[in-house]
Amino acid sequence: MFSGANSLGYNLYTSSAHAIVWGNGFSGTATQTLSGGVVSGGMRSFTRTVYGRITAGQNVFAGSYADTVTVTISF
């Protein structure tokens, strides 16, 4: 995450236990599979909760930090 030139490290996880890093399936990360979903207006929608954790012990400046996460969906 960034606040101007300042950065704050974090990871995204597949569950609230923060045991498996959500990623592309490489370097110890895991992908997610969705099934079922809800059909409305001819479209199927899915909901997936993603859990985040900021890496401890970072010496960062106070501020408002934000980031953008891009998700690739294959079907």
- Radius of gyration of the CA atoms of the chain, in A: 16
Q: What are the DSSP E strand ranges found in the chain?
A: 2-3, 6-7, 10-13, 38-40, 43-45, 51-54
Distance CA(12)–CA(53), nearest Å, equals: 7
- Whole-number pLDDT of residue 27: 87
- Whole-number pLDDT of residue 57: 95
pLDDT, one tens digit per residue, over 24-41 is 888 888 888 777 788 888
